[in-house]
Structure 1
Amino acid sequence: MWNFDATSSALLVVDMQRDFVEEGRPMEVPMARARIPQMRQLVDGARGAGVPVIFTQHVLYDSFNVSPLETANNQLLLTEGMRDGTDGIEIVDGLDARAEDHYVRKHRYDAFYNTNLEVLLNTVRGYRTVDTLVIAGTLTEVCCESTARSAFMRDFKVAFAGESTGALSETAQSATLDAITRYFGRVLSNAEILQGFTDGATEARR
């Protein structure tokens, strides 16, 4: 089993947007909202250790259907949710997203698909320095898991934040954590990730 090394890591916070998180929004995920404090711990810890923070934003359009199979599964998305140019695609205030952070706009569950994420990871800390992706956010069983599998296929080590991901149910959460542990990476607690960030910052100063 590989070791978690923060000096070659990046933190990816998946789809923590207002339309996914806030009460009454079209794609509300209560578990994701409840875990904002845990996610904020990771964001703050990453910043303090010099680990890049990347936010994804799932974006749909009114002018045409950019994700037709997604909207076929959930027809609500034909008319509302994560619309370009609306506050629904904004990252929730509780995570303190900043201009100096990095942002990836996507139209599929997998944050690597037709986005700049892989190029960003291969350059953000120097040429191919990042080999580990810490994944937090929502939905655990959809975009987080799809992105984790895609990262694994690209030979990135996957550190999946079990306490800082939010699913639609505890059953779905457990199923994804089991799949990641068995096949695609390591499920780590916040304490393990934060300790890794601290150790990495200490090592970088030597």
Structure 2
Amino acid sequence: MWRVQPKNTALLVIDMQNDFVLEGYPMEVPMARRRIPEMQKVITGCREAGIPVIYTQHILLDTFDVSPLESTYNPALLTAGMRGGTFGAQVVDALAPEPEDVVVQKHRYDAFHNTRLESVLAGISGLRQVDTVIIIGTLTEVCCDSTARGAYMRDFKVAFVSDATGARSDAAQKATEETMGTFFGRVLKSGELVAEIRESESREGRAA
């Protein structure tokens, strides 16, 4: 089984926006809020290892319905949530991007769909050096799942961090983890992931 190699890896922080995280906001996901400490652990571990950090923002528009099927299934989105340029669309302060990070806006669940994400991954660590993505964020069963599948379909190895992704329910979290681990990648806890990154760094240091 493959292992996470920092020089070939990028971290994707999926949709950890105020509208998804803060209490009382339109798309609130309490599990995502509770798991911020584990997400911080992953982000810190990746930064220390030189792994690039890429954030996604799910963005809707007031000028026209840019994601019509999404709003069909959730009509509340026609009038509220994830509007570009608003406080709700911003990444939560606890996980705020650093100046060197990349932020990718998207209009569909899959962060690869009609975005610049694939082009960013193709060059962010040198030409086509990234072959592995780590996925954290929310919703586990929607945007994290869809992006993991999109990565897999493009031949990226997927490390899905179970305690640093947040679903709407424990059942949805468990079902997604089982599917991810069976068909689309590896499912790791945040501590396991960080330990693997550090072990890989140490091994590379000894080899040098």
User: 1:32·1:137 contact (CA, 8 Å) conserved in 2?
Assistant: yes
Does the 8 Å CA contact 1:19/1:27 hold for their aligned counterparts? yes
Q: Which amino acid aligns with 2:94?
A: G
Name structure 1 gaps, 5 residues minimum: none
Question: Who is 1:19 aligned against?
Answer: 19
Counterparts of 2:135 and 2:196 in 1: how far apart (Å)?
Answer: 14
CA distance in 2 between counterparts of 1:171 and 1:200 reads: 33
TM-score of the aligned structures, taking structure 2 as reference length: 0.96
- How far apart are 1:191 and its partner, in Å? 1.6
- Report the secondary structure of 2:103's partner residue: strand
Alignment of 1:1-206 (within 5 A): 1-203=1-203, 205=205, 206=208
Which amino acid in the other structure matches residue 63 of structure 2? S
Conserved? CA contact 2:9–2:131, under 8 Å: yes
Aligned equivalents of 1:64 and 1:103: distance in 2? 23
Shift of 1:198: 1.6
Residues 37 and 57 of structure 1: is their aligned pair in 2 closer, same or farther, counting only changes over 3 Å? Answer: same
Deviation readout 1:104-141 (Å, 9 max, x if unpaired): 00000000000011111111000110000000000000
Aligned sequence identity (%) = 55
Amino acid at match of 2:172: A
Give the C-alpha shift of residue 204 in structure 1. Answer: 5.3
- Displacement of 1:203: 4.7
Q: State the alpha-carbon separation in 2 of the partners of residues 160 and 99 from structure 1.
A: 25
Per-residue CA distance 1:122-181 (angstroms, 9 max, x = gap): 110001100000000000000000000110000000000011000000000001000001
Contact 1:104 1:117 in 2 (8 A): yes
Counterpart amino acid of residue 172 in structure 1: A
Q: Give the TM-score normalised by structure 1.
A: 0.97
Q: Does the 8 A contact of 2:4 with 2:197 survive in 1?
A: no
Contact 2:6 2:50 in 1 (8 A): no
Q: Indicate the SS of the match to 2:63.
A: coil
AA partner of residue 161 (structure 1): V
Query: Mean alpha-carbon deviation: is it higher for 130-139 or for 185-194?
Result: 185-194
Secondary structure at the counterpart of residue 143 of structure 1: helix
Structure 2 residue ranges without an equivalent (≥5): none
